[in-house]
């Protein structure tokens, strides 16, 4: 082959490679990628798989409306497999390799704590949809689940005022959310005059299955002649044997009511709920809420998932709120740039599913109603109490001495998530 022919062939091959490269880049630029970071295997899959499906539905609905900024949304689904360090690795991949504009994910606080330094380092966006312990506000995280003052504190108030509870079992899975929440609740109970002897605290590992002795201890603790309740921060599939053992030992809701912060419709769908009728959960949404907005959401969910027996739950609503807030903020900013969206989203209001609207506050938490529901024999909840107004999420607890002077405000002049109102100083991250 003549030299000029070889040169011509090499030139054609090089041009083809360049064309393919630019074509791939152009195709990538035609979509806005959205990261979905939920455990699809392991102990938390019982709760998180549905949230992955929820995000796929929301993205599909948005694409039917024309996408965002003239582009289609492209979901990027990963499985961190209930492995907390793997959450960090998958987050780094989503931000550096997949170049996602935002991440919707995590359930446990330990997974969020694993992700936090990565999104801060790489300036990503995380929308976190589950109730948590507070004591945090990051520039890069939007907390659409409940803070303690939007779930734990109102639940204890309900038990104290309505059910006249005097003795308290704080039972949780052994990680940061239950421990910090119970630290807040213990301080709150003591501020209300509850004595140490009337507070029992117990922690178990993820996936704990042998509840016989612990439930027996709870039963004994509740036999002291004072009204006793269990405040449960037990997470994941450990809830199934816990509730079964309550039934086995004949602990009724009348004798020792349990109020759960991590048990919703999805978790109840896997167990026989008849022995649990009357036990409680505190959330900001129940599937049984009778509003037009919720009826539409449930219909769309059943159509998308192609299974009318699939339930909805509170973290699904939190993703619904967070996703719509992100969409609105991107449209307002005219870009998916992290800093621009972060500033544009403050003050954004979108409909929730309980008949009102939720607003993104300067501390990166939102306004939510608080509902207490009783478990029914069909696995649904009947609302027995709710707040008259929306409650603003508080990033830092007023019941912990070290947190009381701290506020979060990601707007001028403070621009900080950890601002001490006494020393007038910001600790850690700030704009």
Question: Do residues 79 and 39 make contact, with C-beta atoms less than 8 angstroms apart?
Answer: yes
**pLDDT-based confidence at 20, cuts 50/70/90?**
very low
Q: Please choose, from the candidates 110, 261, 112, 250, the residue with its C-alpha nearest in 3D space to the C-alpha of residue 182.
A: 261
What confidence score (pLDDT) does residue 21 get?
45
Asked whether the predicted pLDDT for residue 11 surpasses 70, the reply is no
Helix residue spans in 350-414 (DSSP H):
none
**pLDDT-based confidence at 278, cuts 50/70/90?**
very high
**pLDDT-based confidence at 25, cuts 50/70/90?**
very low
Asked whether the predicted pLDDT for residue 23 surpasses 50, the reply is no
Q: Which domains does the chain have, with CATH numbers?
A: 149-283 (3.40.50.2300)
Residue 73: C-alpha distances to residues 43, 66, 243 (Å): 30, 9, 40
Determine the average pLDDT of the residues in 141-165.
Answer: 97
**pLDDT-based confidence at 7, cuts 50/70/90?**
low
Q: Please choose, from the candidates 284, 286, 321, 287, the residue with its C-alpha nearest in 3D space to the C-alpha of residue 301.
A: 287
Q: Beta strand pairing status for 72-78 and 406-409? A: unpaired
What confidence score (pLDDT) does residue 346 get?
98
Residue 315: C-alpha distances to residues 285, 320, 324 (Å): 8, 9, 14
What confidence score (pLDDT) does residue 273 get?
83
The secondary structure of 210-240 as a DSSP string is --HHHHHHHHHHTTSSS-EEEEEE--GGGHH
**pLDDT-based confidence at 272, cuts 50/70/90?**
confident
* Per-residue pLDDT tens digits for 337-364: 999 999 999 999 999 999 999 999 999 9
Coil, strand or helix at 298: helix
425 strand-pairing partners: 420
What confidence score (pLDDT) does residue 267 get?
81
Asked whether the predicted pLDDT for residue 152 surpasses 60, the reply is yes
Asked whether the predicted pLDDT for residue 45 surpasses 60, the reply is yes
What confidence score (pLDDT) does residue 244 get?
86
């Amino acid at each position: 082959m003549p030299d000029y022919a070889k040169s011509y062939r090499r030139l054609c091959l090089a041009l083809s490679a360049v064309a393919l490269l630019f074509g791939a880049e152009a195709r990538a630029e035609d979509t806005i990628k959205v990261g979905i970071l939920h455990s699809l295997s392991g102990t938390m899959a019982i709760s998180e798989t549905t949230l992955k499906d929820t995000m796929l539905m929301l993205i599909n609905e948005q694409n039917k409306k024309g996408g965002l900024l003239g582009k289609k949304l492209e979901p990027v689904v990963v499985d961190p497999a209930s492995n907390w360090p793997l959450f960090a690795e998958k987050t780094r991949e989503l931000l550096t390799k997949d170049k996602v504009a935002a991440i919707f994910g995590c359930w446990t606080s330990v997974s969020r704590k694993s992700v936090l330094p990565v999104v801060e380092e790489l300036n990503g966006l995380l929308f976190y949809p589950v109730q948590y312990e507070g004591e945090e506000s990051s520039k890069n995280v939007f907390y659409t689940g409940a803070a303690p003052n939007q779930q734990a504190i109102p639940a204890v108030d309900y038990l104290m005022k309505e059910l006249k509870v005097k003795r308290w079992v704080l039972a949780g899975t052994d990680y940061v959310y239950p421990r910090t929440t119970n630290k807040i609740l213990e301080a709150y109970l003591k501020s209300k005059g509850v004595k140490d002897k009337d507070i029992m605290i117990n922690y178990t590992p993820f996936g704990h299955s042998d509840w016989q002795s612990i439930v027996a201890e709870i039963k004994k603790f509740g036999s002291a002649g004072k009204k006793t309740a269990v405040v449960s921060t037990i997470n994941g599939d450990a809830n199934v044997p816990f509730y079964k053992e309550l039934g086995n030992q004949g602990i009724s809701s009348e004798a020792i009511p349990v109020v759960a912060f991590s048990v919703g419709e999805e978790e109840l769908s896997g167990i026989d709920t008849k022995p649990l009728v009357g036990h409680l959960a505190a959330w900001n949404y129940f599937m049984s809420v009778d509003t037009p907005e919720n009826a539409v959401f449930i219909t769309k969910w059943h159509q998308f998932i192609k299974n009318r027996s699939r339930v909805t739950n509170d973290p699904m609503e939190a993703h619904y709120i967070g996703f719509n807030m992100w969409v609105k903020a991107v449209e307002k900013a005219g870009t998916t740039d992290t800093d621009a969206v972060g500033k544009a989203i403050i003050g954004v209001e979108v409909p929730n599913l309980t008949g009102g609207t939720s607003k993104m506050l300067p501390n990166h938490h939102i306004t939510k109603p608080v509902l207490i529901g009783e478990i029914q024999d069909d696995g649904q909840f009947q609302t027995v109490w709710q707040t008259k107004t929306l409650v603003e999420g508080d990033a830092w607890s007023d019941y912990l001495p070290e947190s009381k002077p701290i506020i979060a405000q990601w707007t001028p002049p403070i621009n900080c998530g950890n601002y001490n109102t006494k020393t007038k100083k910001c600790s850690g991250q700030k704009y």
